[in-house]
A and B are shown apart, each in its own frame.
Chain A
Amino acid sequence: MSGMYEGAIQDLIDALGRLPGIGPKSAQRIAFHILQSDAEIAGALVDAIRTVKERVKFCTECGNVSEEMQCRICRDPRRENTSICVVEESKDVIAIERTREFRGKYHVLGGAISPIDGIGPEQLRIRELMTRLADSSVTEIILATDPNLEGEATATYLARLIKPLGLKVSRLASGLPVGGDLEYADEVTLGRAFEGRRTVNE
């Protein structure tokens, strides 16, 4: 597959092929699209990539992507300082923000614990989280790591670490999708939903 074109075009295909979710065929299609599009459009893409690398930093407080020292959410005085929602990636912040359910602040870990990939607690922004928790205004922690093995392990690790501080710690519920049909849920999801059922007549 590789090395079929010469020079610049192959360099572009190779560079695109290294991006997540883009295979050799897609890389080739995108490369030729760029080649055939106006210089302006290609230039805008180049600028956007350059700007993002120059301007975007990580918020010193929560670790979310930001153009300034602190991200938009950390700067917002209307956000409550009493609760912190811990997520794996910046894109999880956006996902939770879309719900408009959470008025507190976030903490982005930068991944989940996975010894196979050489990621332990030290590689994540856990020390920064503990420093933030030392601030007495925080009373509740919501662990919103992914519901997979690594996410669960990270949540368990954090829960144990935070326990001595006497804060309220909760974990996002996992279970049935809203608007879905019970019959279409797979057994694992349904089993979890059963485990996490709640009483309605109290």
Chain B
Amino acid sequence: MRIKQLSLQNFRSYLNVTINFTSKTTTFIGDNGAGKTNIVEAIIYLAFLSSHRVSQNQPLILLGNQQAIIRAEIEKENRTLQIDLEVNANKANRARINQNPTRSQKEILGACQVVHFSPEDLDLVRGDPGTRRDFLDRLLITRSPRLAGVSADYERVIKQRNVLLKTRAAQSALVPWNEQLVVLASNLTAERIALCEALNPWATQNYSNLNETKLMKLDYKSSTEGLSNNPNLNIEIYKKQIQDLQYQEIERGTTLFGPHRDDLLIQLGDFPAKGYASHGESWSVAISLRLGAFDLLRNEGSDPILILDDVFAELDTTRRLQLMAATQKAEQTIITAAVEGDLPEGLETERFYVTPGVVSLKKRGL
């Protein structure tokens, strides 16, 4: 899969820009704040229908406008697909595929698949469980777009249910939400556990490729005991959990179990990576998670675009080489860097120079 052309209108710092990707690897070079990450953010938005930086749409839209447009020509198995996405501030986004309107923007999920690295990936190791859940969920959506709906519905049910718990509503008012909660939670948990099982060998392999000696292992840590990758079995477990927690939940006024309280446990040897891993080890773990995801997707027959957003400056030679090896496998790699010298030696790439609002093939002033 590759992006042939990307056009942005009123997106972040760009009033209007069109970028033609002609090479296997494309690099955007520019000072901090020039707008490099805005370009990859647009591609990431197409892939997940949400930004990796903000949860609202308004910051994505150029100041003073209500709408941004992301347009991409994507080549997949020798066929070209044109995706148009209107990102709206105050109403639902609208998408078109090959000029044809879609009923829901979710229909474009799967058209553009990406695996992206960014300096914030360190949070996958050190950050809150939410960062790791988000990592899993985004990978789930890439593998199976249907789950975007399951995850969104789940979050909404939790919100509705929490309002009831907070206002100490009667048990009979909770029942209709409990039924939907159990089904959605069972589904989402089963999918996440199955994903962890599938991802684990690939992450472990990548970690050892980085000359690390410890054994990296992934485990899905749920707030509920005994869950598995079988949604039907999970339903019974969650039903019992609702019963057991009934009084505690009313007392605390919030939902006390479910995939929104789970975590991805990363073990290094006998210790959890969080709290124990050194700075270097943390980077190795983060890279192994992303490269593991990349290898898993490729092994399952997809061909995701690899995005390396401002990461080379952070990494030593071994880790750079590991990422370089991945770029050889990818059909398309998109890189951003603040300084040209940070790019690994021998990297064959077309170069774009980014200044605020402008993307150019020439360096400014030359």
Cβ of B175 within 8 Å of any chain A Cβ, yes or no, is: yes
Evaluate contact between A153 and B159: CB separation under 8 angstroms.
Answer: no
Evaluate contact between A152 and B180: CB separation under 8 angstroms.
Answer: yes
Select one of A154, A188, A191 contacting B176, CB under 8 A. A154
Bound CA–CA A154/B175 (angstroms): 10
Cβ of A120 within 8 Å of any chain B Cβ, yes or no, is: yes
With both chains docked as a complex, state the minimum distance between the C-beta of A22 and any C-beta of chain B, in angstroms: 11
Q: Which residues of A contact B179 (CB under 8 A)?
A: 156
Evaluate contact between B176 and A115: CB separation under 8 angstroms.
Answer: no
Q: What residue of chain B has the Cβ atom nearest to residue A25's Cβ?
A: B66
Q: Which residues of B contact A186 (CB under 8 A)?
A: 104, 106-107, 146
Evaluate contact between B176 and A113: CB separation under 8 angstroms.
Answer: yes
With both chains docked as a complex, state the minimum distance between the C-beta of B260 and any C-beta of chain A, in angstroms: 15
| Residues from 315 to 356 in B contacting A, C-beta threshold 8 Å | none
Bound CA–CA A166/B66 (angstroms): 53
* In the complex, per-residue mask of B39-56: 1 if CB is within 8 Å of any chain A CB, else 0: 000000000000000000
With both chains docked as a complex, state the minimum distance between the C-beta of B88 and any C-beta of chain A, in angstroms: 10
- Chain B, interface residues (CB within 8 Å), range: 20 to 34
Bound CA–CA A115/B255 (angstroms): 14
Bound CA–CA A186/B180 (angstroms): 20
| Residues from 163 to 192 in A contacting B, C-beta threshold 8 Å | 186-188, 191
* In the complex, per-residue mask of B77-103: 1 if CB is within 8 Å of any chain A CB, else 0: 000000000000011000000000000
| Residues from 94 to 146 in A contacting B, C-beta threshold 8 Å | 113-116, 120-121
| Overall SS of chain A's interface | helix
Bound CA–CA A167/B249 (angstroms): 33
Evaluate contact between A115 and B107: CB separation under 8 angstroms.
Answer: no
Cβ of A48 within 8 Å of any chain B Cβ, yes or no, is: no
Select one of B149, B153, B167, B173 contacting A121, CB under 8 A. B173
Evaluate contact between A115 and B164: CB separation under 8 angstroms.
Answer: yes
Q: What residue of chain B has the Cβ atom nearest to residue A187's Cβ?
A: B146
Cβ of A160 within 8 Å of any chain B Cβ, yes or no, is: yes
Evaluate contact between A157 and B173: CB separation under 8 angstroms.
Answer: yes
Please judge, given known A-B contacts A116-B159, A188-B149, whether A149 and B180 are in contact too, CB under 8 Å: yes
Bound CA–CA A150/B156 (angstroms): 10
Please judge, given known A-B contacts A115-B169, A116-B159, A187-B146, whether A153 and B176 are in contact too, CB under 8 Å: yes
Evaluate contact between A160 and B173: CB separation under 8 angstroms.
Answer: no
Q: Which residues of A contact B107 (CB under 8 A)?
A: 186
Q: What residue of chain A has the Cβ atom nearest to residue B157's Cβ?
A: A149
Cβ of B223 within 8 Å of any chain A Cβ, yes or no, is: no
Q: Which residues of A contact B177 (CB under 8 A)?
A: 153
Evaluate contact between A156 and B173: CB separation under 8 angstroms.
Answer: no
Please judge, given known A-B contacts A115-B160, A187-B146, whether A153 and B180 are in contact too, CB under 8 Å: yes
Evaluate contact between A160 and B146: CB separation under 8 angstroms.
Answer: no
Bound CA–CA A114/B163 (angstroms): 9
Please judge, given known A-B contacts A149-B180, A188-B149, whether A120 and B175 are in contact too, CB under 8 Å: no
With both chains docked as a complex, state the minimum distance between the C-beta of A191 and any C-beta of chain B, in angstroms: 8
Select one of B104, B163, B175 contacting A115, CB under 8 A. B163
Please judge, given known A-B contacts A115-B164, A115-B169, whether A156 and B159 are in contact too, CB under 8 Å: no
Cβ of B243 within 8 Å of any chain A Cβ, yes or no, is: no
Bound CA–CA A156/B104 (angstroms): 26
Select one of B153, B160, B169 contacting A116, CB under 8 A. B160
Please judge, given known A-B contacts A152-B176, A160-B175, A187-B146, whether A120 and B169 are in contact too, CB under 8 Å: yes
Q: What residue of chain A has the Cβ atom nearest to residue B152's Cβ?
A: A149
* In the complex, per-residue mask of A80-101: 1 if CB is within 8 Å of any chain B CB, else 0: 0000000000000000000000
Bound CA–CA A152/B157 (angstroms): 11
With both chains docked as a complex, state the minimum distance between the C-beta of B272 and any C-beta of chain A, in angstroms: 36
Q: 8 other contacts beyond A120-B173, A186-B107, with CB at 8 A cut-off?
A: A113-B173, A152-B176, A153-B177, A154-B176, A156-B179, A186-B104, A186-B106, A188-B149
Query: Residues on B close to A: CB < 8 A?
Result: 66, 90-91, 104, 106-107, 145-146, 149, 153, 156-157, 159-161, 163-164, 167, 169, 172-173, 175-177, 179-180
- A–B Cβ pairs within 8 angstroms, 30 of them: A23-B90, A23-B91, A113-B176, A114-B160, A115-B161, A115-B163, A115-B169, A115-B173, A120-B169, A121-B173, A149-B156, A149-B157, A149-B180, A152-B180, A153-B160, A153-B176, A153-B180, A155-B176, A156-B175, A156-B176, A156-B179, A157-B172, A157-B173, A157-B175, A157-B176, A160-B172, A186-B104, A187-B146, A188-B149, A191-B146
